[in-house]
Amino acid sequence: MKVLITYFSNTGNTEKIAKSFKDALSDKDVELKPISEVEPSSLINFDLVFLGSGIYASRVNKALVELVNAAPELPQNFVFFSTHASLVGYQDGFKLVKRKLGHTSNIIAEFDCCGDNIGIPEETRNSMLDKLPPEKRKEAEKHQQWLKGRPNEEDLKKAKEFARSVVEKR
Ligand SMILES: Cc1cc2nc3c(=O)[nH]c(=O)nc-3n(C[C@H](O)[C@H](O)[C@H](O)COP(=O)(O)O)c2cc1C
């Protein structure tokens, strides 16, 4: 089985997850590439594509839709993965990609985890905190602390377990 793991990652969080998937599948025929390096016509050569992105303004990066749009033929099976700063994942983040895939391909599994918001400068984050009422601010500060360094070792372990479980089922 040929597997492609490809991703858009602005600050490296989603890339860490992608690399963990690759580590977990070291005994398989796996290619790992940032999405900018993927030739759309090559997608069809893979039995399974792990497609991932950070979440930006509630959506995955447009490079994902562009890749799927540009592919003359689509592979049968996709796995979506994402990282986000919020506590909960964004089911709608992949909406446009899902729409494009339609009934041509199956989305066989999805993985998401938290990723530290290092793409927004600390001063900007602090000025956002300043605008909150005291109770909300306390909560947001606590969340920021909790998010530091994510994805962490525990997240990467979960990512590896996820990748193995997906591939073992095929
Ligand atoms: C411009 C920008 C917008 C973001 N928007 C969201 C958002 O809507 N929801 C969210 O949970 N996280 C948001 N984040 C946080 C990122 O999703 C999170 O840090 C993610 O792990 C980044 O992945 P990356 O390092 O692979 O780029 C945003 C970050 C940036 C820089």
Q: 58 and 9: one domain? A: yes
Q: 84 and 105: one domain? A: yes
Q: Which atom of ligand 1 is nearest to the CA of 86?
A: 11
pLDDT digits (tens, 9 = 90+) for 2-23: 999 999 999 999 999 999 999 9
Q: Which atom of ligand 1 is nearest to the CA of 151?
A: 21
Best of 113, 117, 120, 155 to mutate for ligand 1, by most ligand atoms within 8 A of CB?
Answer: 117
Segment 125-140 mean pLDDT: 93
CA dihedral in degrees (129, 130, 132, 133; nearest 10)? 130
Q: 99 and 124: one domain? A: no
pLDDT digits (tens, 9 = 90+) for 78-92: 999 999 999 988 879
Q: 157 and 99: one domain? A: yes
Alpha carbon distance 100, 107 (integer Å): 12
Q: Tell me how far the alpha carbon of residue 95 lies from the centroid of ligand 1, in angstroms.
A: 17
pTM over 0.85: yes
pLDDT digits (tens, 9 = 90+) for 84-120: 999 988 879 999 999 999 888 999 999 999 999 999 9
Q: 83 and 64: one domain? A: yes
What's the number of domains the chain is made of? 2
pLDDT digits (tens, 9 = 90+) for 32-70: 999 999 999 999 999 999 999 999 999 999 999 999 999
Q: 109 and 135: one domain? A: no
pLDDT at 88: 87
Q: 143 and 66: one domain? A: no
Per-residue pLDDT band for 169 (boundaries 50, 70, 90) equals confident
Q: Which residues contact 50 (CB under 8 A, 6 or more apart)?
A: 3, 4, 5, 6, 7, 18, 21, 78, 79, 81, 163
Q: Which atom of ligand 1 is nearest to the CA of 58?
A: 8
Q: 128 and 74: one domain? A: no
**Domain range spanning residue 79?**
2-115+150-168
Please report, for the domain that includes residue 67, its CATH number.
3.40.50.360
Q: 62 and 142: one domain? A: no
Residues near ligand 1 (Cβ within 6 A): 9-15, 54-58, 83-86, 115-117, 119-120
Q: Tell me how far the alpha carbon of residue 49 lies from the centroid of ligand 1, in angstroms.
A: 22
Q: 67 and 137: one domain? A: no
Best of 10, 61, 90 to mutate for ligand 1, by most ligand atoms within 8 A of CB?
Answer: 10
Q: 94 and 68: one domain? A: yes
Q: 46 and 72: one domain? A: yes
